[in-house]
Amino acid sequence: MKQSVFLGTLAATTLFAGMALAQGTSTLDTVKARGELNCGVNTGLVGFAAPDASGNWQGFDVALCKAVAGAIFGDASKVVYIPTTSSDRFEQLTSGKIDFLIRNTTWTFSRDTDLNMDFVGVNYYDGQGFMVRKDLGVSSAKELNGATICIQTGTTTELNLADYFKANNMTYTAVPIETNAEGEQQYLAGACDAYTTDASGLAATRAAFADPENHIILPEIISKEPLGPAVRHGDSAWGDVIRWTMNALVAAEEFGITSANIEELATSSQNPEIQRLLGTSDNLGAMIGLDADWAKNAIKASGNYGEIFAATIGESTPIGLARGLNAQWTQGGLLYTPPFR
């Protein structure tokens, strides 16, 4: 008797815990009640997420956290940055430790479906490239036959590299490395002819060399690496909040709304699209459970997409990335937000 009661209680507790996790209240309500946004970011990636000397997080991914916090609370500082590693990031999300993941994570089929995540968009279109020494005399990745290549193990880049060399009937010797910093050391020490990782990472790495002029990044981009934020599978309402906050930043650049002129445009603009976006005419915010001026607060957090890009990874920063695919669709890029209507 006693035992069956005990087992019954145990089963009920487990069931209850499981149900609570599965159903729960919506993530937006949880976040609002908590008063803080738990944002899963990289433990440190140049330009995308890094704490400064006084511990304030900064970077391209971090700016999206701030924008979402701005959209929800009207206060971009209400973010708790939770550093996630490449091995525990998905677990952190599915177990509910973080509200959403923005950690330069590539949107792939298996991650979207099998890992029970929902990618809500792309905030940076990246691709894998190669860096070599200039005196190697190589000007194209097609000439890398037989080369030794430094490559991070356990990442999509490793698989892309194998695919590319197989497709082009070439061979290579892989020098496995664990982290980007180790890769730099190995490459500089001459342990490998070429270093391969995402093009944004290559640019940042090269910029940090003592002699950047002696290294070139080869023109071939051998893979698609759309990096974007992800939420838990089935958390659609919450996904909408993230997706449309990101779209608002992109739309703001398209409409010419910057952090400098946003207050002025909010009161005086006659453009109906700007009025809708900034909440002066329609109340779009109510449809996703936010205030009318959600987009305005999101943009005010760190500016529109173009401003964020320029401040964190753009050509005026040491990383010096060109907009490339990440330009507006009107400029030949891929940024194209659905209409705010």
Residue ranges that bind other proteins, judged by CB under 8 A: 14, 16-17, 20-21, 24, 30, 42-47, 49-55, 80, 82-85, 87-88, 91-92, 95-97, 179, 181, 184-185, 204-205, 207-210, 317-319
Q: Please identify which residue in the block is written with the tokens 């990031």.
A: 89
Q: Is the distance from CB of 145 to CB of 171 less than 8 angstroms?
A: yes
CB of 59 to other proteins, least distance (A): 8
CB of 9 to other proteins, least distance (A): 14
DSSP state of 337: P
What is the CA 278 to chain-centroid distance, rounded? 24
CB of 97 to other proteins, least distance (A): 6
Question: Longest Cα pair distance anywhere in the chain, in angstroms?
Answer: 81
CB of 226 to other proteins, least distance (A): 22
* Close Cβ partners of 144 (under 8 Å, ≥ 6 residues apart): 130, 132, 138, 165, 170, 172, 193, 194
- Look at strands 57-58 and 50-51 and give their pairing: antiparallel
Residue 84 vs 326, nearer CB to other proteins: 84
Q: What angle do CA 332, 206, 172 make, to 5 degrees?
A: 90
Q: Is the distance from CB of 230 to CB of 105 less than 8 angstroms?
A: yes
Residue 60 vs 164, nearer CB to other proteins: 60
Residue 165 vs 187, nearer CB to other proteins: 187
Two structure tokens written together for 278: 């900034």
Residue 24 vs 332, nearer CB to other proteins: 24
Residues linked to residue 331 through DSSP beta bridges, in sequence order: none
CB of 278 to other proteins, least distance (A): 32
CB of 83 to other proteins, least distance (A): 5
Q: Which segments of 28-171 are extended strands (E)? A: 37-42, 50-51, 57-58, 79-84, 100-101, 117-119, 124-126, 128-133, 147-152
Residue 25 vs 236, nearer CB to other proteins: 25
Residue 216, classified by CB atoms within 10 Å of its CB into exposed (0-12), middle (13-18) or buried (19+), is: middle
CB of 99 to other proteins, least distance (A): 12
Residue 316 vs 330, nearer CB to other proteins: 316
CB of 232 to other proteins, least distance (A): 12
Residue 215 vs 296, nearer CB to other proteins: 215
Residue 20 vs 162, nearer CB to other proteins: 20
Which of 201, 21, 175 lies closest to 94 in space, CA to CA? 21
